[in-house]
Amino acid sequence: MTEDTFTLLAIPFGLLYLAALACIYRILLTYRTTQGAIAWITTLIALPYVTVPLFILFGRYRFGGYMKARRSGNKALSGLLEEFECQTTSIPEPNQEEFGDELQVLCKLSRQPFTNGNNVALLKDGEATFDALFQAMEDAEHYILLEFYIVRSDRVGQRIKAILERKLAEGVAVWLLYDDIGSLSLSRRWLKELEEAGAKVASFGKGNIRRRRFQINFRNHRKLLVCDGKTGFVGGINLGDEYLGTAMDQEPWRDTHCRIEGPAVTGLQLAWLEDWNWASDTKPELDWSPSFTSPGEDKVLVLPTGPADTWETCALFFLNSINNARTRVWIASPYFVPDVQIINALQLAALRGVDVRILIPEKSDSLLIRVAAYSYLIQARQAGIGIYRYQPGFMHQKVVLVDDRYASIGTANLDNRSMRLNFEIMAINTSPHFIQEVTEMLEDDLKHCRLMTESDYEDRSLLFRLWCRTVRLLAPLL
């Protein structure tokens, strides 16, 4: 090898290792978990030519661009938040029996108040949800706000587009925000026709390239709809045929959504506005007067979470719920890949006598996550945690039930992506009648579940157990 050739090779390798050192510097300043930091640093040193590009694309844990957008629009949004809290009938007294310390924590995490006077309907499957969504859009008089992780141009998607085009022709304004990764298969023609009809459309990933800066590892996993600021929907259901069982003759996905009428809808609208402002750099004029047109008895808090928050809001929500449970904590999640702090909290809850039940699907759309769940089985069963696998179809709901004190319906899973990388949203309800409905729903789901035992893991082959433990190492990336 000549000296010139050596020099030509040394320069790019030197630059590569300088880039690796820059990545390590950033990791040391910003890492959230020791395990993730060590994994990144080790591979950056050993395989910089592979890991440097991967880190640039997937290594960020804080959504810097969104944080800047939040700060730039913070004055206007803060004003709306203050107005919202002043105008609503919130639960003001910390000493109220139903408003314990853990609910005060949730208000601080959310930056929103619990509100009285809501009317919430539990929607237990795709058919009930779509019927309610379609009707709410048909009844809209002023505007419709949509935000979904997955939007498809299948039969459900075509039905929604037809309704939106008809409402646009009537003079109703429509804003649609979708995630470009989740909606990768969405037809460009579907979007173009909707825009030509007058809708404002933005992609969470492509809408603001100037601010994004390679932050493609973040997803907007929220699923919500707001009509006229009066009626809102939130839960686990995306816009696709799979929830009706009409996609490729498959069984319908088991999922849960809820319809909210009342002042808590303003909380959904605030979360939508912040996301829309990030994606489009615009702030539409909306109705910010909390609605009391359908007064109810539900006490509701809207809790948005995401990687632009000051704290790991989603993880703190789960830890707060598990650590404060007194008699039971039941969690339904299609993805069960908890980190150390979550599994430890679940173990401690079970050891102090709390009825801990985790509902996960038998059938899954992710082989790696399904396999990883087996690796937690021994830890869970030894502490008394019940892990139940739902048998018919794919269970996709995200529900948390804590004692007889509150229930949450939303989009957050028990995995690292929801805890640290996704934008999620949940509606937390403290009303006894709603909690009873959720209890009955989960009890019915449990009838269709199989309780896992240690033998489900121990009686499998050594190769399978090694595979489970190996996949678990990837938990921070799943």
Active centre residues (catalytic): 221, 223, 228, 396, 398, 403
Contact 391, 477 (CB under 8 A): no
Please report the beta strands in 162-216, taking only residues with DSSP state E, as ranges in sequence order: 173-178, 200-203
Where do runs of H (alpha helix) occur along 311-376?
313-324, 340-351, 367-374
| Residue 315: half-sphere exposure toward Cβ, Cα within 13 Å | 22
Where do runs of H (alpha helix) occur along 305-413?
313-324, 340-351, 367-374, 377-383
Q: How far is CA 281 from CA 48, 305, 362, in A?
A: 36, 20, 42
Enter the tokens of residue 271. Answer: 């979360």
- Cα–Cα distance measured from residue 342 to residue 371, given in angstroms and rounded to the nearest whole number: 18
- Cα–Cα distance measured from residue 150 to residue 128, given in angstroms and rounded to the nearest whole number: 18
Q: Please report, for the chain, how many H helices and E strands are present, in that order.
A: 19, 16
| Residue 412: half-sphere exposure toward Cβ, Cα within 13 Å | 30
| Residue 52: half-sphere exposure toward Cβ, Cα within 13 Å | 15
Compute the C-alpha angle 25/26/32, nearest 5°: 120
Amino acid identity for residue 25 in this structure: Y
